[in-house]
Amino acid sequence: MKMMMGSSFPEEVLEHVFSFIERDKDRNAISTVCQSWYEIERWSRRRVFVGNCYAVSPAILIKRFPDVRCLELKGKPHFADFNLVPEGWGAYVAPWIAAASSAYPWLEEIRLKRMVIPDDSLELISKSFKNFKVLVLSSCEGFSTEGLAAIAANCRNLRELDLRESEVEDLNQSSGHWLSHFPDNYTSLVSLNIACLNSEVSFTALERLVGRCPNLRTLRLNRAVPLDRLAILLHRAPQLVELGTGEASDLRPDVLSNLLGAFSRCKELKSLSGFWDVAPGYLTGVYPICPRLTSLNLSYAATIQSSDLIKLVSQCQNLQKLWVLDYIEDLGLEALAASCKDLRELRVFPSEPFGVEPNVLLTEQGLVSVSEGCPKLHSVLYFCRQMSNDALRTIARNRPNMTRFRLCIIEPRTPDYLTLESLDMGFGAIVEHCNDLRRLSLSGLLTDRVFEYIGTYGKKLEMLSVAFAGDSDLGLHHILSGCENLRKLEIRDCPFGDKALLANAAKLETMRSLWMSSCSVSFGACKLLGQKMPMLNVEVIDERGPPDSRPESCPVEKLYIYRTVSGPRLDMPGFVWTKDEDSALGLS
């Protein structure tokens, strides 16, 4: 790199200064100062986050940033988690891995979310990047234990292998044995999360692996590792900080006492998860470490009822994060509020989401208690069956520091159970009082008015999820015209149509993406939007067949709009329609 004539500092100095600047936003800002800063910055950018893999192409990325070491990509829209995106929609990572394999030989970290990654790509990763250290696959699919075997065999410097909630195919041939592909002299593992694997892993291989990796901090086992083997692993790795257990259905006193012994040696243990089918008696084994726990995930433990949960959480004075089933009930949440003053994040999942009648005594009161008792609570995901405006107002006033608030009242369009009114005022209070709110999910009976509140007060809102709400286009208009920082908007089953969308078309370029399904947006409007906005991909997802076989006024099934600099994608399946590259009016 040559020295630029007339610049105040040599490039090396600038580069050194830039090395202290890590956040994307800051690096983006410095890159716009002038040409030479742009150049220096792009050569020294090591970490890149692509929030939508179709917003940019591998070629464009590589051209701008020639020496990336950490790459993070996200693929399918969030609603794919709930089966709203048909199989085969896209988010294939293979082209990215192929491009990176030649362009970034020093790549160290790959993090993917909601993407499809085949075994071939895993093998390519394992062979292309000599210094590869971190692989995180969050809600991904398309690969099998064969691919994992390649990673194990070839990545000599691997530190982290995290398969969070991915769908992994277990091939009978290598079932459980992929772990034994880690060579005997491999000792650098720091974090292993295989909780999502359905089949057994070879316990011998696991034990040996754990035993020879002195830096292992995180170990999340899958269901198939029985509790009686856990103690053995803990003896080999007393330095563990985060542990996920396997299944634990039969209560045996010898196993319990072994466990107690093993836990007492794990002085660093701060985070627990797992507990599938756990016999409640085993919980006493956890009591000794409760005071040290900062994170507890009991959301798979459908066998633990309220009284045992109360006994457990009451001992976790340092708890910061709790994920639990609604078996905890209002009483348990009161106990939580009383004991866990450092709580920051709470997620309560439904044990019987499809039941008509409530099966547990969990109401809005539980959430109100926690909001009162836990001053640091800022992130909430709460499934329940009843809510009131009063409760929401109280929560809002108690916790103005709320940053993420996701409420799911299970029955769509449920009104305030006390007044039978809509919940507009309640959610209005949330956005009004919680000035730092970045993420919000709505539910219950809601009119256009709630969107007026959100548009007025939700100035920091970045992500909004809406379902079965609103009366008219006015609702959508309020959101799009009011929420200045909105990045992601996902809507289902709302009477929002063409008007608000077209009037706020420019807004869509300031956002990452918009999802609308089962709404009233016509195919004609989609075509128009696609024609007029070259920087947007307007994807119509419709499994009923070609949209132009129906009148243009006919609403589309699903709509996914996102900004992009790489034009329409080339890997669309048969049920996705978008504008033709050549003709604005044609369809691909």
Of 231 and 494, CB closest to other proteins: 494
Q: Does 200 bind other proteins (CB under 8 A)?
A: yes
Q: Does 87 bind other proteins (CB under 8 A)?
A: yes
Long-range CB pairs of 309-312, under 8 A, 24+ apart, other chains included: 310/335, 311/283, 312/283, 312/286, 312/287
Identify whether the C-beta of residue 121 lies closer than 8 Å to the C-beta of residue 94: yes
Residues 515-544, one symbol each (x = binds other proteins by CB under 8 A, - = not), give --xxxx-------xx--xxxx---------
By CB under 8 A, name the one of 557, 568, 580, 587 that touches other proteins. 557
Strand partners, 73: 50, 112
By CB under 8 A, name the one of 53, 196, 336, 362 that touches other proteins. 196
- The CB-of-76 to other proteins minimum distance in angstroms stands at 13
Query: 348: part of which helix (H) or strand (E)?
Result: strand 345-349
Q: What angle do CA 335, 276, 148 make, to 5 degrees?
A: 130
| CA–CA distance, 173 with 148 (Å, rounded to integer) | 13
Q: Does 299 bind other proteins (CB under 8 A)?
A: yes
- The CB-of-255 to other proteins minimum distance in angstroms stands at 20
| CA–CA distance, 486 with 463 (Å, rounded to integer) | 6
Of 232 and 533, CB closest to other proteins: 533
By CB under 8 A, name the one of 83, 102, 185, 583 that touches other proteins. 83
Q: Does 355 bind other proteins (CB under 8 A)?
A: yes
Q: Does 376 bind other proteins (CB under 8 A)?
A: no
What are the distances in angstroms from CA 287 to CA 245, 262, 311, 385? 15, 13, 9, 32
Query: 110: part of which helix (H) or strand (E)?
Result: strand 109-113
Q: Does 204 bind other proteins (CB under 8 A)?
A: no
- The CB-of-122 to other proteins minimum distance in angstroms stands at 18
Distance, CA of 354 to chain centre: 24
By CB under 8 A, name the one of 410, 440, 476, 538 that touches other proteins. 410
Give phi and psi for 33, each to the nearest 5. Answer: -70, -50
By CB under 8 A, name the one of 504, 524, 567, 568 that touches other proteins. 504
Query: What 3-state class would DSSP assign to 80?
Result: helix
Of 268 and 484, CB closest to other proteins: 484
| CA–CA distance, 307 with 289 (Å, rounded to integer) | 19
Helix 253-265 to helix 227-236 angle (10° resolution) is 20
Strand 109-113 vs strand 271-273: parallel, antiparallel, or unpaired?
A: unpaired
Site for other proteins in 5-24 (CB under 8 A): 5-8, 24
Q: Tell me which stretch binds other proteins (CB under 8 A): 205-213, 231-239, 429-437, 472-480.
A: 472-480
Query: What 3-state class would DSSP assign to 117?
Result: coil
Of 17 and 60, CB closest to other proteins: 60
- The CB-of-267 to other proteins minimum distance in angstroms stands at 32
Site for other proteins in 119-148 (CB under 8 A): 139
Of 257 and 510, CB closest to other proteins: 510
Site for other proteins in 226-245 (CB under 8 A): none
Q: Does 99 bind other proteins (CB under 8 A)?
A: no
Q: Does 73 bind other proteins (CB under 8 A)?
A: no
Name the CA dihedral angle for 31, 37, 42, 45, rounded to a multiple of 10 degrees.
-80
By CB under 8 A, name the one of 257, 419, 485, 588 that touches other proteins. 485
Query: 71: part of which helix (H) or strand (E)?
Result: strand 70-74
How many of the other CB atoms lie within 10 Å of CB of 140? Answer: 24
- The CB-of-276 to other proteins minimum distance in angstroms stands at 8
Q: Does 495 bind other proteins (CB under 8 A)?
A: yes
In 123-236, beta strands by DSSP E: 134-138, 143-144, 160-162, 168-169, 191-193, 218-220
By CB under 8 A, name the one of 25, 185, 254, 549 that touches other proteins. 25
Q: Does 420 bind other proteins (CB under 8 A)?
A: no
Identify whether the C-beta of residue 416 lies closer than 8 Å to the C-beta of residue 383: no
Q: Does 510 bind other proteins (CB under 8 A)?
A: yes
Burial of 83 (C-beta count, 10 Å sphere; 0-12/13-18/19+): exposed
Number of residues that bind other proteins (CB under 8 A): 110
Q: Does 323 bind other proteins (CB under 8 A)?
A: no
Site for other proteins in 257-296 (CB under 8 A): none
Which among 75, 51, 91, 80 has a CA at the least distance from the CA of 492?
80
How many of the other CB atoms lie within 10 Å of CB of 505? Answer: 16
Q: What angle do CA 204, 206, 207 make, to 5 degrees?
A: 65
Of 263 and 575, CB closest to other proteins: 575
By CB under 8 A, name the one of 97, 511, 538, 572 that touches other proteins. 511
Of 263 and 562, CB closest to other proteins: 562
Q: Does 364 bind other proteins (CB under 8 A)?
A: no
Site for other proteins in 39-68 (CB under 8 A): 42, 48, 50-51, 55-56, 60-61, 64-65
Of 264 and 510, CB closest to other proteins: 510
Give phi and psi for 231, each to the nearest 5. Answer: -60, -40
